[in-house]
Structure 1
């Protein structure tokens, strides 16, 4: 009895890549599966697909009359599988990757032999270029395995599941289908794992073709498309935290008088951080809301704007911080984050710090974390690029606000 269903969405694809992908799927050691190929508005691909299938009765081809995107193609394919009796396990494959012979067998066995609460399994993978050459050394693969083996909670911060996976149909039926185009898989894992546990298998089961000719990753090299992808990525995490009742941990207060290249660079740098459990308020100090008008085009699901015309930065920050409800607060300055993990590390260190520590920051050479203690001298001047406990920042700003007005 067939209990495994596989979906392959196909749009425009290089014939050689499609041939390699299909042959690797059809040649699996585990043969009892149903493959649904969804041609998503690319009728020119169908003759090649038919030749590659060679009448294989495990394969069904479905066609969209026009391109509707990966998420819709996946939903079409899985709807076909849901209509078949006996399908217990599901996965989907890309038309440009290569799947090792035991890909299906290994993932299916892990689900079948695992506890009832296990609903998603995933493995490591090798990255390859357009010519099929491996891109990761054994040392790099070891680092990747360690990264992917993080606990389930880390899925809220980054897509550790990757591109080699399988899940139970019973769990999939508890949630809506694929959506949030361009991060459809990551968004799906976040929703799926709210109903099941997941397990990592530390072995490579496939070759992932990086930046192949028609891939999403190649398209993301364009700035506008990357911003759109990044917004969807942040949105998936933001929505997951809202569903789970997880409040933001940090409020970012970014005061700006102008919206030029430097301001854009600072915002982009913030949005590229792996840490995403924050609310950001851009404090518009311009007289005509020019900052708001210009920078609102760089979308982020948890960023808002507060307009403080004709006031200085300290005054604006002093009034803005009164409304902050998060545990921590961060005021970006001229220094850019040097690593995408910087805010994560600062947050983790301050979480573990003694209560007498009011803030932390990276040292000038970025080799260490410095700390500011309550009522003691700090070698760091100012408050920018420093993660504060919010009450400490309120006290700090109050002193400087009153001093600026001769009230201290």
Structure 2
């Protein structure tokens, strides 16, 4: 068989199972085998699977396992039985597939370059009753924009979706699915698959994804947990392949929709390129998350959190740092284009016991939408505690190996000063007299 399809099943609605299997029976492409792996489902689900599968006229096999092991082991078990199939995919038991679903994916894979290891397509959404979810034209434009990305951006966003076909050879090289990140096993697999070839987008809608189904993972797992686990997977793979930038920039945003894009742009325009950009959205109620997701940069590590407060958000972000040095920013501020280059160059020249590099920051006053220049605050003034927003220690490069990360007693509005005072010791700081950070007040 040319194509192997795995259908993993835990608990599922009887109606959804029949609709899913019927849609696979109606496939115009017939050179495929279906392996249904029952991952310890309830009796009603088992009964529905066995009854619905009787309608299949293509080769199929049912693995009736009583023990629930999770999605990754279940997929690997199914794909192991499809070892002779050069193309592989898997489907969810609550989705429906157009008759040309496999035909279009296979034809596209056949027509792409030999380096292509994954073909994926657009998909439509249906509700729990199987009715189409109606969205505006602008929404569809956004989805197509979101899914049309350079393959390297899979590190920051899972833009593949639920309609895909990949090569068996690449699957083997990637090591199959891992249980290390059980709630985002698909994103984790795409990131690892990226290391073995190219991705190709088929710009057609060839299946239906059921939104808010009773047993859907995205229904039962909080978005914050999915985001954090996805980025943990991303960092894990980056470490495996040696993608370890020298600097980690942590950019904090809460309702900074009017300024966050510019803050990110000033980082993208840095003459120094070897850094990761961890952008935290701390439960914004404006469109800040959209601005973050629209950023095209494989160095980006987006963390979309519930509203945790600045202190807790920074604690979380520090868990994702891979750099030797760390710089903190806020979504309303920006950097001079030479900032990172000059600070890293200076830090590299200093003794290893130098743990904090201070520079200066320039104040800008926001007056009815117009920025009015203010004073330059020197790094020398950081050495004393302050409760003045304009005098907080913003322009500081920390050496992560000596960074104390306990912020339990910090006040959100003064967290920069708390961090600085916590990590400052005698003779472990160096000041460079340059204004490299711009603070909007």
TM above 0.5, yes or no, is: yes
Aligned residues: 331
Task: State the TM-score, normalized to the length of structure 1.
Answer: 0.67
Tell me if structure 2 keeps the 8 A contact 1:359–1:372.
no
Question: How large is the RMSD of aligned CA atoms in angstroms?
Answer: 4.6
CA distance in structure 1 between the aligned counterparts of 2:154 and 2:364, rounded to whole angstroms = 26
Partner residue in 2 for 1:209? 210
For residues 377 and 35 of structure 2, the distance between their equivalents in structure 1, rounded to whole angstroms, comes to 66
1:3–1:382 CA distance, 2 compared to 1 (3 A) = same
Provide the rounded CA distance (Å) in 1 between the counterparts of 2:213 and 2:52.
21
Per the normalisation by structure 2, the TM-score is 0.63
Q: Does 1:15 align with 2:14?
A: yes
Distance change in 2, residues 1:350/1:32 (3 Å): farther
Distance 1:362 1:106 in 2: 55
Partner of 2:64: 63
Determine which of 92, 95, 99 is the counterpart of 1:94: 92
TM-aligned CA distance change 1:384 to 1:25, over 3 Å: farther
Cα deviation digits, residues 317-375 of structure 1 (max 9, x gap) = xxxxxx9625xx2245xxxx6xxxx99xx79x96999999x98999969989x899996
Structure 2 counterpart SS, 1:17: helix
Deviation for aligned residue 1:113: 1.6
Residues 109-188 of structure 1: pairs in structure 2 closer than 5 A: 109-135=107-133, 136-179=135-178, 180-188=181-189
After superposition, give the CA deviation of every residue in 1:19-46 in whole Å (9 maximum; x if it has no partner).
1111111211111110001111015122
Q: Does the C-alpha gap of structure 1 residues 365 and 140 become closer, same or farther in structure 2, counting only changes over 3 Å?
A: farther
Higher strand share: 2
Residue in structure 1 matched with residue 274 of structure 2 by the alignment: none
| Contact preservation (8 Å) 1:178, 1:184 | yes
What secondary structure, in the 3-state scheme, does the structure 2 residue paired with 1:212 have? coil
Q: Does the 8 Å contact 1:40/1:65 carry over to 2?
A: yes
For the 8 Å contact 1:330–1:384, the answer to whether it is kept is no
State the alpha-carbon separation in 2 of the partners of residues 361 and 73 from structure 1: 56
Could you say which residue in structure 1 is the equivalent of 2:50? 50
- Relative distance call for 1:27 and 1:354 in structure 2 (3 A) is same
Question: Deviation per CA, 1:96-143, whole angstroms, max 9, x where unpaired?
Answer: 111111111111111112111111010111122112233333332222
Counterpart of 1:302 (choices 306, 320, 325) is 320
1:40 is matched with which residue? 39
CA–CA distance in structure 1, aligned partners of residues 152 and 215 of structure 2: 32
Quick check: 2:32–2:58 contact (8 Å CA) kept in 1? Answer: no
| Runs of 4+ residues deviating >6 angstroms | 351-356, 358-368, 370-377, 383-386
Flag the 1:98–1:375 CA change in 2: closer, same or farther, 3 A: same
What is the alpha-carbon distance in structure 1 between the residues aligned to residue 14 and residue 81 of structure 2?
25
- How far the C-alpha of 1:74 sits from its partner, in A, is 0.6
